[in-house]
Structure 1
Amino acid sequence: MTGKYLLPAILATAMLTSSCAGQSVPRSAIAPSANPSAIIAAEIAFNRLAQEKGQWTAFRETSAKDAVMFVPEVVLAQEWLKGRADPPKSVTWQPHKAFMSCDGRTGVTTGAWQRPDGSVGYFTTVWQWIEKGKRPKKAPPSYIGKGEWKWVVDHGDALTAPRAAPEMIETRVASCKGQPNAPLSAPPEGAKMKMGLSRDQSLNFTWVVMPNGARSVVVRLWNGQDFDTVIADKVAAPAP
């Protein structure tokens, strides 16, 4: 929801670096268990919490320990949010699309936000299922134990006109066929970059911040043979 909670100018929220990155898991061992409605519900609950308890309180309570934000420089969310007072009225937002990894542990929502002053924009949030307690030693790759959804990246920007709300929220799940490989790329000279992967590598996301503050956020979803770019957000450098 970056942008959603903007600071005086644009506050884009953040992308997390991820805990999702990990070893490759044989695709044949993964039982499809993805449920995009779960992250849609998490996003809606996040917005509701902001209206009821306060904007920054909601961000603190729903962010992962290593989540990041852009303010506009990249910061660890929990550190930046610590002790920050809630504004009198929170920004509001609504998810328009949801994408999820084959294993159902990582998802991304994107949609529209509105600030109390009338300004509008868009957001993209990366969600990760955080398990609670110890994972059984012989648990299969498809195992999803008790836990909760936390956002690890929440980014966005202001727009001159609002995004049109869809009649129905669009959802898409990564293919469980084939064996996706994590794409490798180097950041542009002088830029900061981070890539996150779902545990099964069927979804990946990358954020890049250029030396002048311009940034991009890209989300890719496995289609069984290759990755489709499903989100490609670009944010201009902040005004001097």
Structure 2
Amino acid sequence: MKGRGALLALSLVMLVAAKPPMRYQPDPSSVIAAEIAFNRLAQQKGQWTAFRETAADDAVMFVPQRVMAKDWLKKQADPPASVSWSPSIVYVSCDGLLAASTGNWKRPDGSVGYFTTLWRRDKKGRWHWILDHGDRLATERDAPEFLTGKVATCKRGARPEGPPPAKGEAPPVPQDDSLIWSADVATDGSRRVTVRMWNGTGYDVVIDDKVGAPS
């Protein structure tokens, strides 16, 4: 009996180890909810406090130079009143792990602009932003009557190279690549943030933000 119990315990350990990574539905509404909660947190607890609490460890932002967000944010005091914002459209990768949102913001002084935020799920399924940027506008962009969410067509990567996983190990998950982004900064401080989404045969440019050099 003792030997059988040990064998059963070992089998259970192997089953747990072999459990594949959790998969999530590509749900734009969860990203919209994260954006709404992010904005609410800024109004209630302070602008930079909200940014600190929702940023991923490797998140970046532009001030206007590119910086590691948490390093920069820990030195910032919250302004007396926070900027407010609302997403207009959200794009989500096929595997539900990456998303991009864009919309309008407004400062307490009445100035307006736009933002684009890249979001990534953590292992517990929570969204954290990994890139945030925007720019001021003379007049705000037209906002749709209803928030829109779009999901990329699935695009699976090539079979991973190398030997198959050992017995008891979870098989590797192919990289999705159905939603990709880039952030390029020129020497003069101008930048371009682009998001592309796979449509089944190629990539559509869904966000293409160009910010001029600081004056």
Superposition TM-score, scaled by structure 1 size:
0.71
Aligned mate of 2:179, from 175, 199, 203: 203
Task: Tell whether 2:155 aligns with 1:163.
Answer: no
Percent same amino acid among aligned pairs? 56
* SS across alignment from 1:84: coil
2:127 aligns with: 149
2:198 aligns with: 222
What is the CA distance between 1:106 and its match in structure 2?
0.4
Aligned mate of 2:150, from 163, 172, 176: 172
Alignment RMSD? 1.8
Taking structure 1 as reference, are residues 35 and 42 closer, same or farther at Cα in structure 2, changes over 3 Å only?
A: same
Measured against aligned partners, the alpha-carbon deviations of 1:65-122 in whole angstroms (never above 9, x if no partner) come to 0101100000000000114210000000000000000000100000000001110000
2:207 aligns with: 231
* SS across alignment from 2:126: strand
2:47 aligns with: 55
Distance of 1:41 and 1:118 partners within structure 2: 25
What is the CA distance between 1:164 and its match in structure 2?
2.0
Asked if 1 retains the 8 angstrom alpha-carbon contact of 2:156 and 2:176, the reply is no
Aligned mate of 2:29, from 21, 37, 46: 37
* Structure 1 runs of 4+ with >3 Å offset: 178-181
What is the CA distance between 1:234 and its match in structure 2?
0.2
Q: Which has the higher helix share?
A: 2
Asked if 2 retains the 8 angstrom alpha-carbon contact of 1:180 and 1:222, the reply is no
- Specify every segment of 5 or more residues in structure 2 that has no aligned partner in the other structure, as ranges: 1-22, 159-173
Task: Determine which structure has more spread, i.e. the larger CA radius of gyration.
Answer: 2
Distance of 2:156 and 2:201 partners within structure 1: 8
Asked if 2 retains the 8 angstrom alpha-carbon contact of 1:97 and 1:170, the reply is yes
1:128 aligns with: 120
* SS across alignment from 1:229: strand
Relative contact order, higher structure (CA 8 A, sep 6+)? 1
**Alignment length (residue pairs):** 179
Superposition TM-score, scaled by structure 2 size:
0.80
What is the CA distance between 1:50 and its match in structure 2?
0.1
1:11 aligns with: none
